[in-house]
Amino acid sequence: MINVGSKGYKALLLGCSMLIASCAPQLNVDDQLDMVATPASWQSADIVSVDDQLSWLSNDSDMADLTEIVTKALDNNPDLRISANRLRTSLAQQSITDGARSITGDLTLGASRNGDFESGTPDNQNFSLRGGLAWEADIWGRLASNSASAEQSVRATKNDLDYARMSLATRTAQRYFDVIEAVMQVALLEQNLEKLLQAQDLVDRRYDRGIADVLDMLQIQTNVATAKSNLANQQQTVIQRMRTLEVLIGSYPSGKADGDLTLPSLDTLMNTGIPTNLLEKRPDIMAAKNRVLAANYNLESAKKALYPSLRVSGSTSMSGSEISDIADIDELVWSVVGNMVQPILDGTRRRSQVVINEVALDTSLANYLKTVLNAYQETENALTAEMTLAEQERHLTIAVDRAVYSEERALDQYSKGLVDILSLVNVQRNRISSQQSLLRVKYRRLLNRADLHLALGGENLETYINQMTGTNEPVNNQGSL
């Protein structure tokens, strides 16, 4: 321990501390956070920006159930509950860190009696009351750096929770669309089976009249059996997807789905903002940035730990043979001690801690870069898919129209003996294939629009749910969090 009044020692220790700290390489955090060159506009073309509001589902979409489902997920999902608990833990940790800058104290009350076994009576007794206070002067700002780091960690955890809520809302909507698409595929396969049975009836009548060959009967029977098998398989898909949704929203996985469901329609994508807004809106990017700042404060704290520390402590004590003695002010004994401590030999522990925090800062910067690049990739991919899927839907709509008409003509011509069974079968296969493909594209467009909304940072949670459901009514959720 070095006396506070020893100016020569103080100067020497301060110089050594600053020399040690200056040996560590320096990182410019601001420059590192700007290491991604942001383009002036999104690279995907033909996206027209004319409004500040990102449309979601068409206002005429009947999706009243979706609000209830998403809200239930936000209330019951276990993963979201875990994220909320992480925030509570982070807030408590911040309070602990901030407490290190405050005065700490304790109070101890003691009593003792002693004697010998022969007499069985006590020789003497003693009562004591001791109190102590301690405080560390934050000369170099090390404790302030610790508090700033804890604050940034809380902000990062809060952003994690915001992103978890937004992601959960998106995933819940997508899993609901999974169920709807599977239900609609069942309806298509049922319609297809009905048409095949009509064709089979036509083939049977022609066969009974001796016009059709037995191969015609075998071919149509094969197609009917295959259609029944595909229908059973699709019904199993509905059950599995419904159970996935039920687990997501915290319900028992019964697998029971409403058979009268249809996919909602989509409004035209009006606005996607500009790339620089992405860095300000996405909670996961903000969380990564806050963790960089927290790591930088931790590094500052580790470097400042190389400097001398000043601790001031005081204590009081009173004791006596009677309990009234510890309330007598005349018996009070007090002391105040100030210590300035400079570690000299610590096995390079503090210098190694500086290296550890430098590595942690560099890692957090790399994670930030990765998060930003992934966000840009997700957005560009979703924007590209928005255009290509819309074009596929236009072409497939035409294909389905032509395929339905071709089937009607083929049935008529087969009944007149103008085409063979293979031509009829191929036309029917093309029709169901086109119908299923069109349904899948509409479904994929909904999934992609949800991904795009999430990639662009979305809106606040209430607006986000309303956009998904096409309503403007306020949603009450997350009251428990």
Query: Among 233, 183, 223, 180, which residue's Cα sits nearest to residue 203?
Result: 223
pLDDT at 327: 62
Long-range contacts of 3-6 (CB under 8 A, 24+ apart): 4/310, 4/338, 4/339, 4/340
pLDDT in tens, 23-45: 444 556 776 666 666 666 655 54
Task: Give 462's Cβ-side CA count (13 Å radius).
Answer: 8
Contacts of 10 (CB under 8 A, 6+ apart): 2, 4, 308, 340
User: pLDDT under 50 in the chain at which residues?
Assistant: 1-25, 45-61, 460-461, 471-481
Is residue 100 within 8 Å of residue 149, measured between CB atoms? no
pLDDT in tens, 179-226: 999 999 999 999 999 999 999 999 999 888 888 888 989 999 999 999
pLDDT at 11: 47
For residue 405, what are the CA distances in angstroms to 423, 430, 437, 445?
Answer: 14, 11, 17, 26
3-state DSSP assignment of residue 167: helix
pLDDT at 383: 86
The letter for the amino acid at 433 is S
Q: Which residue has the tokens 């007794």?
A: 125
pLDDT at 338: 64
Q: Which residue has the tokens 């290491």?
A: 35
Cα 62 vs. chain centroid, distance in angstroms?
A: 28
pLDDT at 47: 39
Buried b (16+ CB within 10 A) or exposed e, 385-416: bbeebbebbeebeebbeebeebbeebbeebbe
pLDDT at 51: 27
Give the E-state strand segments of 63-103 in sequence order. none
Is residue 243 within 8 Å of residue 255, measured between CB atoms? yes
State the burial class of residue 126 (Cβ atoms within 10 Å of its Cβ: 0-12, 13-18, 19+).
Answer: middle
The letter for the amino acid at 254 is S
Cα 67 vs. chain centroid, distance in angstroms?
A: 20
Superfamily of domain 35-101+140-307+348-469: Outer membrane efflux proteins (OEP) (1.20.1600.10)
Sketch the domain layout of the chain as residue ranges.
35-101+140-307+348-469
Cut 0.75: pTM above it: no
Phi, psi of 411 (to 5 degrees): -65, -40
pLDDT at 328: 61
Is residue 10 within 8 Å of residue 296, measured between CB atoms? no
